[in-house]
């Protein structure tokens, strides 16, 4: 076996042997990455005109908001109807409460002897007249009160022209006047309060009809008046 001595003139790490191929050290050629693809820029569609020049297309139509407006208007009408119904109920309650308070105050005045029975009798006698010998019937307590009041303030007619009678069947605060021709006039505090209540209810009904008519003439939304107009 022939041996040969090799003299190293370089560092062993820098020595490469010719004719020897190191598969592990083989350099892999670099792979070129493709350039990034840019997204296309949206361009409005164009159409050629008569001269062949591109013309941009018309913009898309705006969305139809009429169904939304109809829904809002319907909701507003429903709210307005509920508001009017609540207002009507409150007004009716206010009338009933007012009549109840008036009835309490009137009966309290009657019980205390503060009721103007002389004014009631004067109006009844004036309604029938003095020519037909009117007969005035009152509750016994009211008749006593009337006699005291007439002594303090005499009536505009002669006492002999009017006949007064006590009738326990007549409620306090009321009277019954009848003349010799058969005409009868009855005044009762409950009836008068009922007439007041009926009158207020009729006025309320008329107001409600006018309010409904006014609300039905225009849309539910209304412009507030200019501050300069109400200043």
Domains of the chain: 68-216 (3.30.2320.30)
B/e letters for 149-175, b = 16+ CB within 10 Å, e = fewer, are beeeeeeeeeeeebebeeeeebebbbb
Q: In terms of pTM, does the model score above 0.75? A: no
Distances (CA, A) of 191 to 103, 177, 201: 11, 16, 15
- What is the three-class DSSP state of 10? coil
| pLDDT tens digits along 64-108 | 888 899 999 999 999 988 988 888 888 889 999 999 998 899 889
Q: How far apart are the C-alpha atoms of 14 and 138, rounded to whole Å?
A: 146
Q: What is the pLDDT of residues 38-47, one digit of tens each?
A: 665 555 555 5
The kind and range of the H/E element at 185 are strand 184-187
Confidence of residue 224 (pLDDT cuts 50, 70, 90): very low
Of 221, 211, 190, 21, nearest to 107 by C-alpha is 190
Higher local confidence (pLDDT), 11 or 203: 203
pLDDT reported for residue 221:
38
Residue 182: other Cβ atoms inside 10 A: 7
């Amino acid at each position: 076996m022939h041996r040969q001595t090799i003299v190293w003139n370089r560092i062993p790490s820098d020595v490469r042997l010719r004719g020897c191929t190191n598969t592990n050290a083989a350099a892999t050629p670099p792979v070129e990455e493709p350039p990034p693809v840019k997204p296309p820029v949206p361009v409005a569609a164009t159409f050629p005109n008569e001269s062949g020049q591109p013309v941009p297309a018309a913009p898309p139509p705006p969305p139809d908001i009429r169904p939304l407006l109809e829904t809002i208007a319907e909701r507003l009408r429903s709210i307005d109807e509920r508001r009017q119904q609540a207002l009507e109920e409150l007004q009716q309650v206010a009338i009933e409460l007012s009549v109840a308070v008036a009835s309490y105050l009137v009966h309290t005045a009657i019980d205390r002897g503060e009721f103007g029975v002389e004014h009631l009798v004067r109006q009844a006698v004036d309604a029938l007249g003095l020519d037909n010998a009117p007969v005035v019937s009152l509750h016994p307590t009211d008749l006593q009160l009337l006699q005291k009041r007439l002594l303090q303030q005499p009536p505009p007619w002669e006492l002999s022209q009017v006949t007064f009678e006590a009738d326990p069947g007549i409620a306090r605060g009321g009277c019954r006047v009848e003349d010799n021709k058969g005409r009868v006039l009855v005044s009762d505090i409950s009836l008068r309060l009922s007439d007041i209540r009926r009158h207020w209810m009729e006025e309320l009904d008329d107001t409600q009809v006018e309010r409904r008519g006014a609300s039905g003439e225009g849309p539910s939304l209304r412009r507030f008046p200019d501050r300069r107009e109400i200043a």
